Amino acid sequence: MTFGFSVELDRHKKKWMTGQSRLFKKMASNQNPISAIDMLTSALRSNIIPNQEYLLQGSVIDSSAEVLHNRLRGLCDAAETGPETFHDHEMCFSLKASSPGGTPQQQQSFLLRVRRALDHPEYPWQLRYLGQPELGEKNQPTVLRSCIDIACTPNVVEFLSELGCRIEFEYVLKGYLFRKGRMKVTMSKIFRMGQAKSPDSLEAMTGSYLVELSLLAPSGQDAVADEIKVFAEQLRPLVHLEKIDYRRLQSYS
């Protein structure tokens, strides 16, 4: 399975390189200089940009978190040095996307997330777009959603406010980040911010850790979902990672 995926990735790379070669020849001829948008469009058409996230989620109670932590440390890369840690502040913004002739009730919210590293204030802020989760067929191993990450400056919050975005909620995450090849596993403890909206005044929202197993890949590489499912099975019974139907969760709220 891994060999077949590598061959497929090489094919996409060659296709993209062929497109880039044509673009560079056009630039060399000084006819209609190529812009950054042209380069990005070419990469998107060649399916070389990882803009699809394959995802499984679960949770583990605090008392069992250390056992899962040790299991992941043994299975994942860099077992000697241990996982990365993170302490992030995340804000979710919404922008109403109205269609011509639509009523306010028919307007859909366009969600954007802004994250900053509290433990590394020198790091760039992150702007993330997440599309609607797709459960697909019953035998599809993972949730699939569009995902685009952009590094940005701290004034991104002011920029989004000027666009008309409204902050819906915010929280702080503390946890661990494990890597297994291209796969990423996070164990996150989620905290509610106090009335002062200060990252220093935190209150744990639950008595458990959110566990997420994900992989970013270009469009059309659905074979990686099976790779994620196989790894998730190795974490049972410590944690059960599965597809979460967000529509059902919304109907319960």
Among residues 45, 52, 41, which one has the least CA distance to residue 15?
Answer: 45
| Cβ neighbours around 65 below 10 Å, total | 20
Among residues 190, 181, 187, which one has the least CA distance to residue 227?
Answer: 181
- The answer to whether 189 and 88 have CB atoms below 8 angstroms apart is no
Burial class (CB in 10 A: 0-12, 13-18, 19+), 145: middle
- The answer to whether 46 and 12 have CB atoms below 8 angstroms apart is yes
Among residues 180, 184, 216, which one has the least CA distance to residue 50?
Answer: 216
Report the chain (253 residues): mean pLDDT per 10 consecutive residues. Answer: 44 51 50 60 66 94 96 91 93 79 61 95 95 80 92 95 93 96 96 75 92 92 91 96 77 53
pLDDT of residue 154: 95
pLDDT of residue 208: 97
Cβ within 8 Å of residue 26, ≥6 positions away? 32, 34
pLDDT of residue 7: 42
- The answer to whether 86 and 119 have CB atoms below 8 angstroms apart is yes
pLDDT of residue 27: 47
Dihedral of alpha carbons 116, 121, 125, 128, sign: negative
Residues 190, 207: Cα–Cα separation, whole Å: 9
- Identify the residue whose tokens are 């997330």: 113
Amino acid at 146: S
